[in-house]
Amino acid sequence: MQKKNNIKNELVAYLLLTVGSLLFAVGDVMFVNPYLLAPGGTYGLSNVLNTVWPWKISYYAICMDIPLLLIGTWILGPKFGVKTVVSTILIFAFTWVLETTWGYNPVIHEGIVEEAMHNYVQIPHSDLFFIPDYFLNTVVGGVIYGIAIGLIFKSGATSGGSDIISMIIHKYTKISLGTLVLIVDSCITLTTLIAFKQIRLPIYSIILIAIESKVIDLIVDGIKSYKTVFIVTENIEEVRNFIINDMKRGGTTFAGTGLYQGAQRKMIYVTLDRSDLIKLKSNLRFLDPHAFVNVIESSEIMGLGFKALPEE
């Protein structure tokens, strides 16, 4: 039974990986490249190189991804796993197919015209010019990128690419990985300003990254929001009974000592979703009007009654 579950989980993981890789290629070829954006990563830099020196995006990206994987494995050890390698190959393949069959035509635009006119944008490597809709394209591109990378993360793969550069620098400098990823991606984003001399391009790229990061969080962590609540109360039994009997929730009780007077205090620790928190707050005023309550945002909750603990 355990073996069947493992096989099923692996099949689901590779399905997520495949769909995520396909969506990533769609976002890059159909939404990011036609608008000359570069939202970080090797594919962001490849978009700029593809426009300045025409060569397929996929060729530029794979020429960067393979050395980065090899260097990363040599310096950091085999952290990336088989799924990251598979994801790298799938994104390359899907991108190559799309740019070969679809080209670099935009999906979102306000019309395509045959002759250049003021404020129209030329499609890279094409004689056609289109009227751009930068904001809508940025929003849709960010959502597609976010879903794609979120699915890849949920499959157990990592994004690889330029993130490996951040991981290598982190090993030797101890600067936080999040800060380094931001620095590396920002440098890649700014290449659009250097290459195309348009300040709006890096701005739209940054907006796309912000949307993408929020969507990744929704895909990986889920939509449901949880709050961790600490309640210091003199009416411990009343609050406890309400949480257990009325809210059908569990929790933990602690004993502590107040800093000011050294008095003994009792505290309840409980994790709730948003609707349960509202219910608790509205009733605490009757259960103990003098209770002290601390509410903390919880990014992820695992265990009985919440998300299952990860399997090996």
pLDDT at 119: 65
pLDDT at 307: 64
pLDDT at 161: 78
> Which residues of the chain form CATH 3.30.70.120?
226-298
pLDDT at 224: 66
**How does DSSP classify residue 80?**
S
In order of 30, 50, 105, 119, 233, the CA distances from 123 in angstroms are 11, 12, 6, 13, 65
pLDDT at 177: 63
| CB-CB contact of 191 with 185 (8 Å) | no
Cα–Cα distance for residue pair 146/26, rounded to 1 Å: 12
Count how many Cα atoms sit within 13 Å of the Cα of residue 246 in the half-sphere of its side chain.
Answer: 14
Sheet containing strand 292-298, strands side by side: 252-257, 264-273, 226-232, 292-298
DSSP string, 92-146: HHHHHHHHHHT-S--SS-S-EESS--TT-EEPTTSS-EE---HHHHHHHHHHHHH
pLDDT at 35: 93
Instruction: Look at residues 305, 241, 246 and name the one whose alpha carbon lies nearest to residue 273.
Output: 305
pLDDT at 204: 95
pLDDT at 249: 85
**Which helix or strand (DSSP H or E) is residue 280 part of?**
helix 274-287
pLDDT at 1: 59
pTM for this model (two decimals): 0.78
Instruction: Look at residues 188, 175, 152 and name the one whose alpha carbon lies nearest to residue 24.
Output: 152
CA angle (53, 58, 60) in 5-degree steps: 45
How many other C-beta atoms can be found within 10 angstroms of the C-beta atom of residue 293?
A: 15
Q: Just give the CATH number of 226-298.
A: 3.30.70.120
| CB-CB contact of 52 with 67 (8 Å) | no
Query: Which residues, in sequence order, are CB contacts of 159 under 8 Å at separation 6+?
Result: 41, 149, 152, 153
Residue ranges in the chain whose pLDDT is less than 50? none
| CB-CB contact of 63 with 23 (8 Å) | no
pLDDT at 128: 78
pLDDT at 190: 92
Cα–Cα distance for residue pair 106/110, rounded to 1 Å: 10
Q: Which residues, listed in sequence order, are joined to residue 229 by a DSSP beta bridge?
A: 270, 295
Phi, psi of 294 (to 5 degrees): -120, 120
